[in-house]
Structure 1
Amino acid sequence: MTHAPTRLRRKPLTHLILASLCATGAPLTFAQSTGDLGSVQSTATTSTGSDSATATSTQTAPAQAPTQGSLTATEPKSIINRNYIQNSTAPTSNYSDILQIAPSVSSITPNGPGLMETQSLSIRGFQDGQYNVTFDGIPFGDSNDFTHHSTSFFNSQNIGSISVDRGPGDASQIGFATFGGTVAVTSIEPSLTPAFSVLGSYGSWNTWLSGAQFNTGDMQQWGDARAVVGYDHSSSDGYLNDVGQRRDNVYFKLEKPLGDNTLLTFYADYNRIYQNTSLGATAAQIHQFGPNFGLNGDPASQSFYGYNFDRINTDFEYIGLQTQQWGWKFDNKLYTYGYYHDGFNAVDPNGETPNGTTFGANDVPGTQMANNYRAVGDVFDAQRELGPGTLELGGWLTHQSNFRDNMNVDDTLNFALEQLNFTMHDTLLTFEPYLQYAWKLPYGLTITPGVKYVSFERSIDSPLDQKSGVPVDYSHTWTKALPSLTVHEQINPSWSAYAQYAQGFLAPNLNVFYVTNPSASGQPAPEQTDNYQIGTTYKTNRFTLSADLYYINFRNAVTSTSVGGNTIFSNAGGAVYKGFESEGTFYAGYGFSLYGNLTFNSAKQDSTGDWMPNAPKMTAALGVIYDRGPLHGSLITKFVGHQFGDTGDTQPIGGFAVTNLAAAYTIKSPTSWMHNTRFGLEIDNIFNRTSIDALAGYTAADNTPLYWTIPGRAVIGTVSTDF
């Protein structure tokens, strides 16, 4: 009779976490694992992406969960598997559209899923540039402010899964901005069997996508190599008036075992995009023209779609090698990616600046910019069992070279040059080595102390610097050692708990060099955080449940807003982010699951108590999923709570909810030469809510607020089949 009390006394971490979560007065809800290198054999699989402790049948909560936690994670983590991506999101979606279902996440997509760069992707109130985005473990982003272009590299066709680590992670979590978390996107895996698949979809706003994908299957004559290659083309007029998009994407992935202990991976992705750009709409424009006001078809207007567009070409390649040798597990990826962007905008598409250039009093004034960069780097990790635990060491080294210029042009005269505003070449050299030891103790406890050293070296060489307009040739390096400590307890095969402390660090943006004399003005302190988190995860075939509490002390918090299309940064000083997060799925039987997540978030400045901008006070989701036999369906509502669009508790944005319905029916063999033919129908925003959901910025002329609205109801039909 004494066994149960004795066991509980041996679980101090469990008691602490459960007591803390119960003290919030909110219900518990629960959650894939951050794996180590694991097997180095080919990762081709047909699994659902749930933890190995659960079955991979679709008749389980882990298989049907839109998001779920991890039994091995040491910080709050939500995983979105391929099942949800394929069956419950639009074919044109980017990672940012898929991600918005997750706890504490808010995503603003004014033109429809994947049809415009995401205007705000907030995680716990942290904005793009304050958290990482990685692809197959490789961090990427712009060097100037660490932000990302959601339309420019990947789409839902070549994404296998996405996980959201809400926090800085342990020492091995690398990237430009670790303290805000990591959005980890993984590529699709080659299938076990040969297949040629085609996909076509058509929907609202004249949106269509066509694509094809070929899987070689296991090629025994080539040493069990497997490969997948695919191509997609999409085109849309967009929800916003005259804000269209055309996009092409081709991708290739090869996995080749080299003996029993080594796996070679090669990945390549190429993307080409043409998209019209809108800066948002004033309240008067929304009232006069409707919530979908964007651009127009009048060549005499600065809102003409022919004057406001982007041409972007990108590529992303890596060679990866996983091997087990001499008692070590090694994982190395050598990579490069490039981004080439020509952007054209009228000076004021919102109508507050009159026409007129040096070439003509009625000519339309505009700007033309170029933003081209190339990054090369390497990610390395090594692990081995040592004593009572696992030693892990590694590092990340990357160099990015960036060329930018900006000029005034006459749009009426086919973008004739008026004046060069600035031109510059800047570089960023980042080095992050790390070391940690996972000390395994009795009763399922693992304690992992670690340290990561970060070094950011910026340089700029400009004959005509942005803002200052004078020549600048300068460089500066920011460094810091970042300790971390995680405690993980595997209570039983279905239940785990964790606690974490870690420091975060983010180098200042490139704009600190936009001054007359950077060496004399001095360099600002970087953004830094102390992160504290505790949480628990429970997972069986019937349930996936997870909950966590977090507290983040943020120093030198930088906020930003857009004025006339230009981003303006300011330092809000200290801030505290804290909250409660939960998510869970219950498999009710007969193919049905119930899903929900609920978060309460706070992000306030120390000095004033004002809310940080674009930080919702709560988020929630509720839905039902059906997946049995040939039929799949989901009905899910996402709610984003009240927030402020700017500092000082100004520009309040009311809470809003969007409900999406998706259904699909698969016929295994409609003919002898067709297999797995799938018919899908999706209705996004079925209640057609089109209220304001974000501040887009301000006009340059009169500082008039600009807004984004929720895109209206969209109906999308999809057909795919294998041959």
Structure 2
Amino acid sequence: MKTSMRIALLVASSLPTLAGATAAHAQNVNVAPEDDQSKSTSANDAGQANDKQSLTSSDIIVTGSRTAESAPLTASLTTTQPQSAISRDYIDNTTPAADFNELIALTPGVSITGTGNGYGFGETKAVIRGFQDGEYNVTYDSIPFGDTNNPTHHSTAFFPSNTIETVVVDRGPGNASQLGQASYGGNINMYSRGVKDQMGGQVEASAGLWNSFIGRAEFQSGAIKSLGGTRIVLTGQIMQSDGALTYSPVAGKNLYGKAVVPIGASNTLTIMSTWNRNHYYQSDVTKGATCGSATKGITGFANAAVGADGQALTQLTGENCAASSNVGVYGKDYGLTNDPRTIDYWRYNRTDKTTDFSYLRLQSELGSGFSMDNRVYMYGYTNNTLSGNTGTVVSGFSGAGTAASPYVAVTKPGDILGYDKMNKYRVLGYIGQLNYDFSFGKLRLGGWYEHAVTDRHLVDLDMTTGALAFNEKFNNGNGTAAQNALPSTSLAAIQYVQHSDWSQYQLFGEAEIRPIEGLAITPGVKYVHFTRGVDALVNQKSRGQINTSATWTKTLPFLTANWEAMPNWSFYAQYAQGMYVPDLSSFYSTSGKLSTALDALKPQTTTNYQVGTVWHGEKVSVDVDGYIINVSNKIGTCTTVGCDTTLLVNIGQVRYKGVEGQLSLMPLHGLTLFGNASYNYAHSVTTGAQIAKAPFGTAALGFVYRNQGFRLSFDQKYTGSQYATEFSGNPNLRLYRIKPYSIGHFAMSQDIGDNFRLGVTVQNVFDSRAVTAISSSASGAPTATVNGTSYQNGYGQGDQFNFLPPRSFLVDARVKF
């Protein structure tokens, strides 16, 4: 390759020149001088997160120009699928409280919801090309993690940005070695903070709007000679804010530690552990602010004749709301109230979460081209939630519970109904991989085993008094089969109390073959075996007793290729299959047909066809891709007449296709311009309509300027129109279309001497209050009958809106040592 080639782990790929590199960056960058024919990469530094033995080896970023290195987003010249790698420089200079979803918000095809309480002050969800959270993997140092009822994620629960060195968004299933329960719609791969060779650290404080404060500290031990060169990094964070929404304060704290320990000349032991605790005040029931009222429906919409998918539409804006609605009373910043007579009283709505994540990793060089990588890990999650709820408190019953003398509910109409909810799980796992490097390629063989146990409950409460409420269905003693399947009155306060577990393993093998210089072809195969069991005294939704399990298996083929046509220009192609294992809701039925339905239920699968190219020029860096993804065996509720709607079944297909591109330009030294765009088609094959929460397109523009310790940046992210709800079948109207919106982020900082830095970040620079999500309600909505079928034909009075948060700022001071 040419001497202009720079190979660097993404942890430092943001720097235009080494002269501007801080110690935090420089330890992970090894750039050869212009006259040096060698190449050097920190991928060879065992114990760092995405080193050469990383399971997701394509996430070792290879760049071919300063332009690619200086951009906030880039793609590797060696990638085999569409990719956006987020630089450490961008993470270090974005809003300190940002969660991992907000860190990837600029990437093509990605849209974010849940930011209404301010960036970093509420849990967010990311959509990638229309794939929702749970339909893609999220990993930390190549270890998949997620909830155990379904593989969704809580963005503020585990890994604040002080624990993240870099993030790589892979828009595809990856190779066979990419592990996860939802190798389906893509991967968000986070990598842990790296250790450094030199001792140092920093203390940081940020403060801003809504009484927000974030404090951080970092310590790097450097190489400790007395411990054989062991390197340690420790970080901690505290965070608190009143939040952008009314009566919605948040607070959290985090501790993180990592040690990389050389053992002899051929082994490296990595020990990592992080602990996180946070709490926030947010309703578990209401999903936004109402705009209509009991007497007035939604009027804030703009009409258009035909939508992008051919359906008539109306676009909601959340304007002109009824005076008595949440927006009318509190404005777009409505969250909770200070009125104990309502379900949204803030003291009735609190969530406390405690999480931990730890692993031991032993990497061994065995000689003759062989190496091994072994990881043992554990993570846990505890969520205790109190929430107000709609309805009237049932304090007890009278009567004998027979047909002649049925139970009669005793109610307390003046009290507020609510519940106590708990979700607690512990996951243990092992990942092993054997590598063999030979003259014209590499061979990887490995496996993953994981076991999870979960306990969940939801108990109804009288929030006014703190006593139990008995609002759930129970056996009223009339002798019918439906009633006999329900629990007794003593359990009428319990919506569910449930124990579940899973045991899964995946085996994979792949060979990276290099038949000629510059060409890598990687065939692979992965076998998935997943068993899930449920043992519940009172099962969720069905409220029956259950003790059963089901097993799903699948063999997934992979074939990828990367051709470096020139040292700074490559092409790639991918054929891959992915799958999504049925989640816990598959068991939410007491039907006598449940066992048969579970046997018939197939995992959702994808077949991915993707092509792209990456070019890193002297002044311009660009990558472009196109994709077609076919989803089969989509899981949902049967809508056929006579179906048992308590059972989940395979209901059809979805087709995703689109084009995406990223561009970086360095017109002069220190200035990097960047942009990206995507067109994303995600249609149900059955209805022909764009699926919900899938924007038709995204785009981003921005710049970064650096000069002698001064840094200035701005970016604007555009999210195209999308539908908040699925197509109802109404041939005359497609409801709940959200207008396109965009949001800007500004950051400026100045180094003062070698040890001090001052900065400011501004979120939502232009103060847009656009709608980002809508939770629909058919209450009070008009209807229309078309061909004998009744459809909702307008907006409900109880529709709930989420808005972008108002403009906010944080000032930041850092002291380095």
- TM-based fold match above 0.5: yes
Q: Distance in 2 between matches of 1:323 and 1:79?
A: 28
> 1:381 aligned to 2:433?
yes
CA contact (8 A) 2:602 2:650 kept: no
Q: Which residue does 2:308 correspond to in 1? A: none
| Pairing partner for 2:382 from 331, 334, 340 | 340
How far 1:144 moved relative to its partner? 1.1
> 1:322 aligned to 2:363?
yes
How far 1:417 moved relative to its partner? 5.5
Give, as a single letter, the amino acid of the residue that structure 1 aligns with 2:628: Y
Q: Which residue does 1:630 correspond to in 2? A: 709
Question: What is the percentage of aligned positions where both structures have the same residue?
Answer: 33
Q: Which residue does 1:717 correspond to in 2? A: 811
CA contact (8 A) 1:357 1:364 kept: no
Q: Which residue does 2:446 correspond to in 1? A: 394
Q: Which residue does 1:9 correspond to in 2? A: none
Q: Which residue does 1:17 correspond to in 2? A: none
Q: Which residue does 1:177 correspond to in 2? A: 182
Q: Distance in 2 between matches of 1:608 and 1:586?
A: 42
**Larger Cα-atom Rg:** 2
CA contact (8 A) 2:280 2:350 kept: yes
Runs of 4+ in structure 1 off by over 6 angstroms are: 567-571, 699-703
Q: Render the CA deviation track for 1:197-255: whole Å, top value 9, x for unaligned.
A: 11100111111111211111111121111101121110011111111111010110101
**406-415 vs 616-625, which deviates more?**
406-415
> 1:510 aligned to 2:562?
no
Give, as a single letter, the amino acid of the residue that structure 2 aligns with 1:668: G
Q: Which residue does 2:529 correspond to in 1? A: 455
Give, as a single letter, the amino acid of the residue that structure 2 aligns with 1:615: A
CA contact (8 A) 1:572 1:605 kept: no
Q: Which residue does 1:668 correspond to in 2? A: 753
How far 1:192 moved relative to its partner? 2.2
Q: Which residue does 1:74 correspond to in 2? A: 80
How far 1:698 moved relative to its partner? 4.5
Q: Which residue does 2:614 correspond to in 1? A: 537
CA contact (8 A) 2:528 2:553 kept: yes
Q: Secondary structure at 2:44's aligned position in 1?
A: coil
How far 1:463 moved relative to its partner? 1.2
How far 1:388 moved relative to its partner? 3.1
CA contact (8 A) 2:248 2:281 kept: yes
CA contact (8 A) 2:71 2:674 kept: yes
| Pairing partner for 2:259 from 250, 254, 261 | 254
Q: Render the CA deviation track for 1:610-657: whole Å, top value 9, x for unaligned.
A: 111100000000011111211111111000000001110431011001
> 1:658 aligned to 2:743?
yes
| Pairing partner for 2:194 from 177, 186, 189 | 189
**338-347 vs 253-262, which deviates more?**
253-262
> 1:689 aligned to 2:763?
no
How far 1:176 moved relative to its partner? 0.8
Corresponding pairs, count: 666
Q: Distance in 1 between matches of 2:232 and 2:526?
A: 35
Q: Which residue does 2:800 correspond to in 1? A: 706
Q: Which residue does 1:6 correspond to in 2? A: none
> 1:519 aligned to 2:595?
yes
Q: Distance in 2 between matches of 1:515 and 1:400?
A: 22
Structural mapping, 1:14-53, within 5 Å:
38-43=43-48, 51-53=61-63
CA contact (8 A) 2:447 2:506 kept: yes
Q: Distance in 2 between matches of 1:471 and 1:722?
A: 59
How far 1:158 moved relative to its partner? 1.3
Q: Distance in 2 between matches of 1:698 and 1:189?
A: 47
> 1:554 aligned to 2:554?
no
C-alpha spacing 1:547/1:217, structure 2 compared with 1 (3 Å): same
Structural mapping, 1:297-316, within 5 Å:
297-316=338-357
C-alpha spacing 1:259/1:215, structure 2 compared with 1 (3 Å): same
C-alpha spacing 1:95/1:449, structure 2 compared with 1 (3 Å): same
Q: Which residue does 1:483 correspond to in 2? A: 557
How far 1:558 moved relative to its partner? 4.4
Q: Distance in 2 between matches of 1:559 and 1:443?
A: 48
CA contact (8 A) 2:62 2:76 kept: no
Give, as a single letter, the amino acid of the residue that structure 2 aligns with 1:289: Y
Give, as a single letter, the amino acid of the residue that structure 2 aligns with 1:438: E
Q: Secondary structure at 1:129's aligned position in 2?
A: coil
Q: Which residue does 2:155 correspond to in 1? A: 150
Q: Render the CA deviation track for 1:106-129: whole Å, top value 9, x for unaligned.
A: 0112211111111x3100000000
CA contact (8 A) 1:44 1:191 kept: no
Structural mapping, 1:1-12, within 5 Å:
none
Q: Secondary structure at 1:557's aligned position in 2?
A: strand
Q: Secondary structure at 1:311's aligned position in 2?
A: strand
Q: Distance in 1 between matches of 2:465 and 2:201?
A: 48
Q: Distance in 2 between matches of 1:86 and 1:687?
A: 23
Q: Render the CA deviation track for 1:89-120: whole Å, top value 9, x for unaligned.
A: 211111011111111000112211111111x3
Task: Structure 2 unaligned segments of length 5 or more: list them.
Answer: 1-28, 30-39, 51-58, 293-325, 397-410, 471-492, 638-645, 728-733, 782-795
Q: Which residue does 2:407 correspond to in 1? A: none
CA contact (8 A) 1:357 1:365 kept: no
| Pairing partner for 2:291 from 283, 308, 313 | 283
| Pairing partner for 2:241 from 236, 240, 247 | 236
Q: Distance in 2 between matches of 1:63 and 1:678?
A: 23
Q: Render the CA deviation track for 1:436-475: whole Å, top value 9, x for unaligned.
A: 1111112422211111001111100011111111110000
Q: Which residue does 1:226 correspond to in 2? A: 231
**548-557 vs 286-295, which deviates more?**
286-295
C-alpha spacing 1:385/1:343, structure 2 compared with 1 (3 Å): same
How far 1:697 moved relative to its partner? 5.2
Q: Render the CA deviation track for 1:486-511: whole Å, top value 9, x for unaligned.
A: 11101122111111101111111111
Structural mapping, 1:604-619, within 5 Å:
604-619=683-698
Structural mapping, 1:528-607, within 5 Å:
528-540=605-617, 542-558=619-635, 573-607=652-686
Q: Render the CA deviation track for 1:350-381: whole Å, top value 9, x for unaligned.
A: xxx56775573311110111100000001222
Q: Secondary structure at 1:61's aligned position in 2?
A: helix
C-alpha spacing 1:367/1:568, structure 2 compared with 1 (3 Å): farther
Task: Structure 1 unaligned segments of length 5 or more: list them.
Answer: 1-31, 561-566, 670-674
Q: Distance in 1 between matches of 2:232 and 2:653?
A: 49
> 1:114 aligned to 2:199?
no
Q: Distance in 2 between matches of 1:628 and 1:191?
A: 25
CA contact (8 A) 2:602 2:633 kept: yes
Q: Distance in 1 between matches of 2:623 and 2:169?
A: 14
C-alpha spacing 1:696/1:324, structure 2 compared with 1 (3 Å): farther
**Looking at both structures, which has the greater relative contact order when contacts are Cα pairs under 8 Å and sequence separation is at least 6?**
1
Q: Render the CA deviation track for 1:519-576: whole Å, top value 9, x for unaligned.
A: 144442211111000001112453321110000011133479xxxxxx9989662111
Give, as a single letter, the amino acid of the residue that structure 1 aligns with 2:160: N
CA contact (8 A) 2:392 2:412 kept: no
> 1:208 aligned to 2:193?
no
Give, as a single letter, the amino acid of the residue that structure 2 aligns with 1:658: I
Give, as a single letter, the amino acid of the residue that structure 1 aligns with 2:156: T
**569-578 vs 705-714, which deviates more?**
569-578
